């Protein structure tokens, strides 16, 4: 297992393909992903027995297909995500389960699909056990435990503790085991995921909580899952988690449990962000440059309908400018970067709480490109049609060739399900 060491900034090109060349082919805004980077990231985690991609981070079929072809399996949190996994050839059952449905509720369609296909379920509430047990007694299940603490890069991505809606509260485990017994459900997996974009200190606490819960469940377990949450550096002062140290913590716990249970245990990891964040770039064009009092604004043709992380979390994304204009300038400018939406929060340079900040970027001209980096995770998947903006195109660079993996949405597609009553 190699710990990722280099910082992510590819600056203006992916695998020798200048981003300007892509922009000549597809109208901005668009996403572009570097396949090689995703494969590298999957391979970083190969010490774990199973790398289960949390597809919520980026669920384009081509990205799922890359994961499948490189030995990862998938987590699905909705009917749509199960259908996506099936569409690229993951089968419903297998060992390890190629698709695991992880949620805190069954809506009607997901329950129907899970029952019909025999998909392994990671239950995040006691009610899920009852609903599954009533319809399909005898199944194997995983329990997602909320260990009573959580941590994320933002309060909104913290998925543990008593204010989080996720998982089965740790002290309810005994009751859940009783429900499982009532319906003859076999608890073969335990799972904990305390938040997205957390750190080693918090991730390490999960190991102890898992060991404790696993001893309570006992030897019916065949799998423990460390969940996701691995951070990536969005800013130069941030760093990766020491993957080797992280694996060793889990491996040691796994071995202690194995010697208690007298059989082997599978160790899963469930990353989303780590696999795809640095592989993705959002490319936009600067369409207006204006000065308002002391503030300079670069207004681009991508907005929070394309990348919501800044408005949702105050997230920082590295940005670079690709100059298409003939006129060269060398200066830097403190600028506010905004999008096209009729909404004052449509600003890419903002901090948590919506406080606008500036970024030092090169002096640019109209028509220059703004490349927003580390945008592969929780980027395109959170795209919306706000202001009737179409979903952006997505491109993939594979072996130096460019593939369109999602066409830009058309107006007809955007309005296809809408009807005017007679």
Ligand X SMILES: Cc1ncc(COP(=O)(O)O)c(C=O)c1O
Q: Give the residue numbers marked as catalytic.
A: 342
Residue with tokens 């309908």: 305
What does the alpha-carbon distance between residue 37 and residue 45 come to, in Å, rounded to a whole number? Answer: 13
By the rule CB under 6 A, 278 interacts with ligand X: no
- Which x/- pattern over 76-115 shows residues binding ligand X (rule: CB under 6 A)? --------------------------x-------------
What does the alpha-carbon distance between residue 340 and residue 126 come to, in Å, rounded to a whole number? Answer: 45
Are 161 and 150 within 8 A, CB to CB?
yes
By the rule CB under 6 A, 269 interacts with ligand X: no
By the rule CB under 6 A, 273 interacts with ligand X: yes
Q: Which CB, 274 or 281, lies closer to ligand X?
A: 274
Q: Which CB, 227 or 318, lies closer to ligand X?
A: 227
By the rule CB under 6 A, 272 interacts with ligand X: yes
Maximum distance among all alpha carbons in the chain? 74
By the rule CB under 6 A, 147 interacts with ligand X: no
Binding ligand X (rule: CB under 6 A), the pick from 33, 90, 246, 274 is: 274
Binding ligand X (rule: CB under 6 A), the pick from 98, 150, 160, 197 is: 197
Q: Which CB, 196 or 349, lies closer to ligand X?
A: 196
131 sits in which H/E element: helix 126-135
How would you classify the pairing of strands 369-372 and 280-292?
Answer: antiparallel
322 sits in which H/E element: strand 319-322
Burial (CB < 10 A; 0-12, 13-18, 19+), residue 353, is: exposed
CB of 216 to ligand X, least distance (A): 21
Residues 359-378 that bind ligand X (CB under 6 A): 377
Are 385 and 293 within 8 A, CB to CB?
no
Segment near ligand X (CB under 6 A); pick from 241-249, 272-280, 333-341, 350-358: 272-280
312 sits in which H/E element: helix 309-313
Residues 380-399 that bind ligand X (CB under 6 A): none
CB of 271 to ligand X, least distance (A): 4
Segment near ligand X (CB under 6 A); pick from 38-46, 236-244, 265-273, 292-300: 265-273
By the rule CB under 6 A, 270 interacts with ligand X: yes
Are 247 and 48 within 8 A, CB to CB?
yes
Q: What 3-state DSSP class applies to 295?
A: strand
Q: Which tokens sit at 84?
A: 């996506």
Segment near ligand X (CB under 6 A); pick from 26-34, 92-100, 193-201, 351-359: 193-201
Are 271 and 228 within 8 A, CB to CB?
yes
By the rule CB under 6 A, 159 interacts with ligand X: yes
Which DSSP symbol is given to 369?
A: E
Closest to 348 in 3D by CA, of 305, 303, 393: 303
- Which x/- pattern over 217-256 shows residues binding ligand X (rule: CB under 6 A)? ----------xxxx--------------------------
- Per DSSP (E only), the strands in 87-225 are 99-103, 120-123, 140-146, 168-169, 186-191, 223-225
Binding ligand X (rule: CB under 6 A), the pick from 196, 205, 349, 350 is: 196
Segment near ligand X (CB under 6 A); pick from 189-197, 336-344, 394-402, 409-417: 189-197
Q: Which CB, 114 or 336, lies closer to ligand X?
A: 114
- Which x/- pattern over 311-330 shows residues binding ligand X (rule: CB under 6 A)? --------------------
Q: Which CB, 241 or 300, lies closer to ligand X?
A: 241
Q: Which tokens sit at 76?
A: 């699905």
Residue 305 Cα distances to 258, 263, 419, angstroms: 47, 49, 23
Are 223 and 265 within 8 A, CB to CB?
yes
Residues 16-75 that bind ligand X (CB under 6 A): 54, 57, 75
Interacting residues toward ligand X by CB under 6 A: 54, 57, 75, 102, 159, 193, 196-197, 227-230, 270-274, 377
């Amino acid at each position: 297992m190699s710990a990722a060491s280099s910082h992510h900034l590819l600056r203006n090109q992916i695998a020798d393909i200048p981003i300007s060349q892509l922009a000549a082919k597809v109208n901005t805004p668009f996403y572009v992903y570097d396949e090689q980077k995703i494969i590298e990231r999957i391979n970083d985690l190969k010490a774990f027995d199973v790398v289960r991609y949390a597809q919520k981070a980026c669920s384009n079929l081509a990205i799922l297909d890359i994961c499948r072809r490189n030995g990862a399996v998938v987590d699905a949190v909705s009917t749509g995500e199960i259908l996506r996994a099936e569409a690229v050839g993951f089968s419903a059952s297998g060992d390890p389960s190629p698709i695991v449905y992880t949620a805190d509720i069954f809506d009607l369609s997901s329950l129907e699909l899970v029952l019909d296909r025999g998909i392994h379920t990671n239950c995040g509430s006691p009610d899920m056990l009852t609903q599954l047990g009533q319809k399909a007694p005898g199944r194997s299940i995983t329990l997602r435990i909320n260990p009573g603490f959580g941590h994320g890069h933002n309060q909104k991505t913290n998925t543990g503790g008593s204010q989080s809606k996720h998982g089965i509260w740790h002290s309810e485990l005994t009751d859940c085991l009783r429900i499982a017994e009532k319906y003859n459900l076999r608890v073969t997996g335990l799972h904990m995921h305390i938040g997205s974009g957390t750190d080693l200190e918090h991730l390490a606490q999960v190991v102890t909580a898992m060991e404790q819960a696993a001893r309570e469940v006992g030897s019916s377990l065949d799998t423990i899952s460390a969940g996701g949450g691995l951070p990536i550096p969005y800013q130069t002062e941030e760093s990766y988690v020491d993957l080797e140290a992280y694996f060793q913590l889990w491996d040691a716990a796994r071995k202690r449990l194995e010697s208690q249970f007298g059989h082997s245990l599978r160790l899963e990891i469930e990353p989303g962000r780590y696999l795809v964040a640095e592989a993705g770039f959002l490319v936009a064009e600067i369409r207006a440059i204006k000065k308002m009092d002391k503030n300079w604004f670069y207004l681009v043709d991508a907005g929070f309908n394309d990348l919501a992380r800044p408005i949702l979390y105050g997230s920082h994304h590295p940005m670079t400018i690709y100059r298409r204009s003939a006129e060269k300038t060398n200066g830097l400018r403190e600028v506010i970067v905004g999008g096209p939406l009729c909404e004052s929060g449509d600003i890419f340079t903002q901090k948590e709480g919506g406080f606008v900040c500036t970024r030092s970027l090169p002096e640019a001209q109209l028509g220059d490109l703004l490349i927003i980096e580390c945008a592969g995770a929780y980027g395109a998947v959170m795209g919306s049609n706000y202001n009737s903006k179409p979903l952006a195109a997505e491109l993939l660079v594979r072996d130096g060739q460019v593939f369109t993996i999602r066409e830009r949405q058309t107006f007809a597609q955007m309005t296809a399900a809408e009807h005017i009553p007679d």
